[in-house]
Structure 1
Amino acid sequence: MSLVKRSLSLRGHATSVALEPEFWAALELQASQRQQSLAGLISDIDTIRATRPLASALRVWALHHKDLPNR
């Protein structure tokens, strides 16, 4: 399985994140259920990730929230 790389801006800084397609799908679903953009959700996760790398934080967050709509 290959990674899908996406570019985005976090707090005015360009960055890119590579995740498996299933993680992107889980994050997109959560963003949709929360009525926010994917970039907005990633920005929210970025603010709470502490020292964990962003890609790892996104994976952990997606796993934690996969069965919890609107959480």
Structure 2
Amino acid sequence: MTGKPRPGRLVVSLGAWWMLIAFGLWLVGKAVDQSASFVRCAASAAFLVAIGEAGDWLRRRWKAHHARAR
């Protein structure tokens, strides 16, 4: 995919990742008998998604910077 994603598609994509990570964290907590509430897992997942998006943004900036330098 090239160019900027549409805002609606971006929101749906981030929301899907957020819920998937939150559910995964909740399941892992249940599996190791260290269960936290789903709300806490959702908050942690939001943090992880934000960190991932920031890293992706930095990666794209770095790549664009080096492409311009050539």
Bigger radius of gyration, 1 or 2? 2
Normalised TM-score (structure 1):
0.34
Indicate the structure with greater helix content: 2
